[in-house]
Amino acid sequence: MSITTDNESGQARVAVITGGSRGIGNQVARKLAAEGLAVVVVYGGNKAAADDTVKEIREAGGQAITAQADVADENDMAAVFDLAEQTFGGIDVVVNAAGRMVLSTLAELDLKVLDEMHRTNIRGTFVVSQQAVRRLRPGGALINFSSSVVGLAFPRYSGYAASKGAVEAMTLILAREMRGRDITVNVVAPGPTATDLLYDNNTEENLTRLAAAPPLERLGTAEDITAVVAFLASHEGHWVNGQVIRANGGAI
């Protein structure tokens, strides 16, 4: 599978990846760069990690730049998309992997924490999606991130799952609003995946339980998820549209 084919303008394809300094977003940036796309690695606060990623991509012969932004700030994100267009000539793929997860029972979750989480996960997805569909070239793809926990309904995930349910709703509606634009809009909903986000929010006991949930009896890896993203971003994946892809090893 290859996604290096030029777009209609004859230029190399270009991807903007939020949450690109860590976890799944970081692996997506590396994967798409390896497939021949020029990438914009968008980060919130971890400049060193984003810089390291760009350095490694360039050393491997790829094209990459960093951009710092708050995904929920419309001015920040407009500036990121401006930078992508000015540097690489346009935008063909947007992967919105930025997210925040705080686990608590509903009864005990601090409402300030809830608001902060929903600002990143809901408003952030809305802002990034809004910029994406205004800027993406024909043949392009927008890929947002939900979570399989929306269906799995694990205890202590109520605030987080609520935000991801909102992501799924807005993204599927947006796919239908793109009629006639030749732009696909999909959601990837990973199951428990071995990233810092998961490890930082779970006990060893809980991680063991999560790993046992899928029939494949393991946690997902960032590489498992990036393979799905790369397919959705490719020309080969362009017939998949308006879908929630639950990449979770068969957990129900």
Q: Point out the residues that are catalytic.
A: 160
Instruction: Read off the amino acid at residue 204.
Output: E
CB 201 within 8 A of CB 117: no
Question: Phi and psi of 190, rounded to 5°?
Answer: -65, 150
What residues have CB less than 8 Å from 106, skipping those under 6 apart?
A: 158, 159
Question: Phi and psi of 26, rounded to 5°?
Answer: -65, -45
Q: How far is CA 201 from the centre of its chain?
A: 19
Instruction: Read off the amino acid at residue 245.
Output: I
d(CA 66, CA 77): 13
The conformational region for residue 87 under phi > 0 = left, psi -120 to 50 = alpha, else beta, is alpha
Cα 211 to Cα 205, 208, 220, 245, distances in angstroms: 10, 5, 8, 19
> Which H or E run contains 141?
strand 141-145
Sequence-ordered strand ranges (E) for 19-74? 38-43, 64-68
Closest by CA to 96, choosing from 78, 68, 120, is 120
Structure token pair of residue 109: 């979750």
